[in-house]
Amino acid sequence: MSVPVLEAEELCAAYHQKPALTGINIAVYGGELAVLIGPNGSGKTTLLKTLGGLLPRSGGEIRLDGRNLHEYTRRERASRLAYLFQDAGTPWSFTVRECIAQGRFFRQGWFGGENAGDREAVEKAIEAAGLDGFQERPVNELSGGEYQRVLIARAVAQEASCLLLDEPAANLDLKYQYRIMELLKTLTREKGRAVLVSLHELGLARLYADTIIVLEGGRVAAQGKPEHILTGELLNRVFDLPESVSFKAFY
């Protein structure tokens, strides 16, 4: 079997000095779209931030392309790993194109400039995210959903081998939820990228995931193919629904 693009082995992490992740073992391969699901507070965001090196681990290992994550320089990590925050904060008054082009910064350095490859990557990301005609608009004048698409386009333009996305479909109209998931699926199938994404929308997970990872209380409760994971018995337990409610109604 090929080496995973991203792998966690017995990963543990704490948040505000409280245990948040315990004994996480997952692997995401090139060409695979893996989806994290779980109730609020289950550890999805903490896991993504820890895998991305944004939060320290308290135990275990993280490997990126077969190498320990902490061995990479920041520039090396940026060439291989892209991360989309759930809450990106208030945008500055960059144009849409300028914001997306920031995904290419690690290839240019402080005194570098765009080359033809940079421009092509940015234009492809703009088209893929449905942002044609938005290029010169200031991002601080966009709606929340439009700005979300800009951030996704910036991560795509980075051309990293692995993408970590925290709720990328949040605040998007239904049309763009599917468009973004189609884009992520294309990145895995045609570009061979590894994608790990957290979702609340189980319908999207069922349609697009190659693998689903269920988190519960900072641990992996289950992982596998959608048809094996998205069952009423498992999800009713994990999401703690009343016995009178069937999870089938949600997907």
Give the residue-averaged pLDDT of 48-64: 95
Please say whether the beta carbons of 162 and 195 come within 8 A: yes
Structural domain spans, the chain: 6-92+160-250
Classify burial at 79, counting beta carbons within 10 Å of its beta carbon; exposed 0-12, middle 13-18, buried 19 or more.
middle
Q: Which of 95-104, 133-142, 148-157, 238-247 has the lowest mean pLDDT?
A: 238-247
pTM higher than 0.75: yes
For residue 221, the surrounding DSSP H or E stretch is: strand 219-224
Which of 1.10.275.10, 3.40.50.620, 2.60.120.10, 3.40.50.300 would CATH assign to domain 6-92+160-250? 3.40.50.300
User: How many percent of the chain have pLDDT more than 90?
Assistant: 55
Task: Give the mean pLDDT of the chain.
Answer: 88
SS3 168: coil
Q: What strands, in cross-sheet order, belong to the sheet with 59-64?
A: 18-28, 6-15, 59-64, 67-68
Distances in Å between the Cα of 200 and the Cα atoms of 167, 169, 206 are 7, 9, 11
Q: What is the structure's pLDDT at 109?
A: 56
Sole residue written with tokens 């601080």: 140
Q: What is the structure's pLDDT at 148?
A: 84
